[in-house]
Amino acid sequence: MKHIGAGFAGPETVVFTVWAPEKDRMTVHLVHPTDRVVSMEKDNEGYFSVTIEGIRAGDRYFFRPDDGTDYPDPASHFQPEGVHGPSEVVDHSAYAWQDQSWHGLPFRDLILYELHVGTFTPEGTFEAIIPRLDALAETGINALEIMPVAQFPGKRNWGYDGVYPYSVQNSYGGPEAFKKLIDACHARGIAVFLDVVYNHMGPEGNYFSQFGPYFSSKYHTPWGDAINFDGLWSDGVRDYFTNNAIFWLEQFHVDGLRFDAIHEVFDMGAVPIWVQIHDNVKRLEQRLGRPLHLLAESDLNDPKVLKTTELGGFGFDAQWLDDFHHALYALLDHDGKNRYGDFGRLEQLAKAYTDGFVMSGEYTAFRKRKFGASSSGIPGDHFVVFNLNHDQVGNRVGGERLSLLVDFERLKLAAAAVFLSPYVPLLFMGEEYADETPFFYFADHSEENLIQAVKDGRKAEFAAFNANNEHIDPFQEITFTDSKLRWENRTKGKHRIMLDWHRTLIDLRRTEPALQNGAKNGIQVTVLGSAGFGLHRQDPAGMNHLLGLFNLSEEEVTYTLPDWVSNWQKCLDSKEPQWLENAKIVQAVLPEQPEPGQTLQLPPLSVTVYQGISVLT
């Protein structure tokens, strides 16, 4: 693979490279601190390059195809003046990393925390996050999953409208500030995942077609023409994105990548782009001597995503498990089934625990066809589960978090359902203390026709859900500022209780042997009519047991403990006073040490967790 962009080959010596296979000529236009134009040479693969001396970090430049218009470098490492301005030369070797003792974390041990840089703090920068890392670590969070930071138009965006996949957003602080954040995370034992977008480019500042055939009309995506991964000249496109994955892992020391909506990437070649990326990343992993994790968002319900490349799969280490969210949410929120019409039965949630994919070949009304395949044999640490993520919050009309959709008791149930699962849990920023601020969709485009197109598109998307609500304007700055966390509420009232609840669940997950077993044969779920369920986990040896008793209804429900497990000891009860929003209201609690085979009356809207040991025979 070719290295593209501007890279130092020695002191004040930079190699400029750009892929433009159908162009006859290319020049570098240096615009700061001096103004000069330098011609480039083309090789037989369509790459233009030139080595220029006297270049320093901070110098700025454009590329000029066929003696025409100046454009920023498609592989720019920094756009200090935004998506239309010149690219800046970055010397990545100049940063003095302090994380030499960092060796990464196993994926199965992660507590993921999805974070949007712009709304996590009032300042909305990388460096403003650093003072809050200790509080996250004390909660038990050991992995940030940062929403895309590739340069996007303006100063506010979710990040999925990025148009420079190698460039760190200028309003967040740029590349050096991002490295400082990652360094600070590693110093506290926190891994860093970065969300990357390889399925489309944003519309504003998208000059890729001025250089080469990066897009293909052969396939259609929700954002227009698909990226060209299998057509004419696609080798250069594939190398561009494969190099990008290596770039973040190597130059920024990130521990893993989360790939957005891989189902919108189309590649009919013999070696899928995901296999190419996987193979290159695994070679880098061996060279660096630390684990590098690849995480997919996939709407395919296809186990191929998680199968090894040797068995014909894509080789991802894990994927988001949307079916778990849908199955749980449809049972917790009275309006849940209206949003997810194919869900709403306890048997589906049970299947999410024991199998993974709920839709594994069944007919779905939403898709009007049979959908999915079984994932029953795939271990739990290959899936990530959640109650919230940026999509589940931001793609609601009012940007409501779960804390505004269900009451406090159901919120505790939701958290316990995730953290007692065999899967890797993910929290959306602020969820750990039940933050109630909305998370709207927001953007900051400068082109009026594009602004109107986005507004019209959002209105059409929400038409079925927005009959009686005014549409939120994503381009008003208040839409962005209203989405910023209210961190000051973290230690107040019910928010403090929910924070302690999450700390307790995370600690239980890390200390209980049964919860560290991701094998599917260590999981049993007993459905209690239409009211609740018993989630039974055990360690690989079958000695240590954990039982989560969930009552999702507003009436008591009966459950009989297994008689082949002894020494049942209660370790968590959502009805005990310290977990109640109003501790003055006396709640029925279950016994501390029930007998094997004892019948219990589970209180309404409750979760109780017991530990036990197998009866020796």
Query: pLDDT tens digits, residue range 489-541?
Result: 999 999 999 999 999 999 999 999 999 999 999 999 999 999 999 999 999 99
Which of 388, 475, 470 has the alpha carbon at shortest distance from 437? Answer: 388
Q: What pLDDT is attached to residue 460?
A: 67
Report CA Rg, the chain: 26
Is pLDDT above 50 for 617? no
pLDDT digits (tens, 9 = 90+) for 81-110: 999 999 999 999 999 999 999 999 999 999
471 labelled binding-site residue: no
260 noted as active-site residue: yes
- β-bridge partners, 7: 15
259 labelled binding-site residue: yes
Q: How big is the CA angle at 538 (ends 358 and 575), to the nearest 5 degrees?
A: 80
270 labelled binding-site residue: no
Residues near 308 by beta carbon (within 8 Å), at least 6 away in sequence:
315
545 labelled binding-site residue: no
495 labelled binding-site residue: no
99 noted as active-site residue: no
Q: What pLDDT is attached to residue 426?
A: 98
469 labelled binding-site residue: no
Mode of pairing for the β-strands spanning 143-146 and 112-115: parallel
Please, are residues 134 and 146 in contact by the beta-carbon 8 Å criterion? Answer: no
Is pLDDT above 90 for 608? yes
**Which three-class secondary structure state does DSSP give residue 187?**
helix
**Calpha distance 436→438 (Å, rounded):** 6
pLDDT digits (tens, 9 = 90+) for 308-349: 999 999 999 999 999 999 999 999 999 999 999 999 999 999
Question: Which of 260, 264, 444, 512 is an active site residue?
Answer: 260
116 labelled binding-site residue: no
End-to-end alpha carbon distance in the chain: 62
How many residues would you count in the chain? 617
pLDDT digits (tens, 9 = 90+) for 238-258: 999 999 999 999 999 999 999
Query: How large is the average pLDDT for residues 249-273?
Result: 97
Question: Which of 73, 239, 255, 297 is an active site residue?
Answer: 297
The two tokens of residue 417 are: 């359902």
What CA dihedral angle connects 446, 449, 450 and 455, to 10 degrees? Answer: 110
**Calpha distance 373→301 (Å, rounded):** 6
324 labelled binding-site residue: yes
Residues near 66 by beta carbon (within 8 Å), at least 6 away in sequence:
23, 24, 25, 26
- β-bridge partners, 294: 257
The two tokens of residue 328 are: 């749980």
Please, are residues 460 and 530 in contact by the beta-carbon 8 Å criterion? Answer: no
Mean pLDDT for the chain overall: 95
> Prior bond to 33 cis, omega within 30?
yes
Query: How large is the average pLDDT for residues 603-609?
Result: 97
Q: Which amino acid is at 490?
A: R
DSSP state at residue 308: -
The two tokens of residue 548 are: 């989560």
**Which three-class secondary structure state does DSSP give residue 60?**
strand
Out of 220-224, 287-291, 494-498, pick the least confident. Answer: 220-224
411 phi-psi bin (left φ>0, alpha ψ -120 to 50, beta other): alpha
pLDDT digits (tens, 9 = 90+) for 4-25: 999 999 999 999 999 999 999 9
Please, are residues 617 and 591 in contact by the beta-carbon 8 Å criterion? Answer: no
Confidence of residue 461 (pLDDT cuts 50, 70, 90): low
Cβ count near 138 (within 10 Å): 11
Element (H, E) at 464: none
Domains by residue range for the chain, with CATH: 5-93 (2.60.40.10), 110-502 (3.20.20.80), 513-614 (2.60.40.1180)
Query: How large is the average pLDDT for residues 217-244?
Result: 96
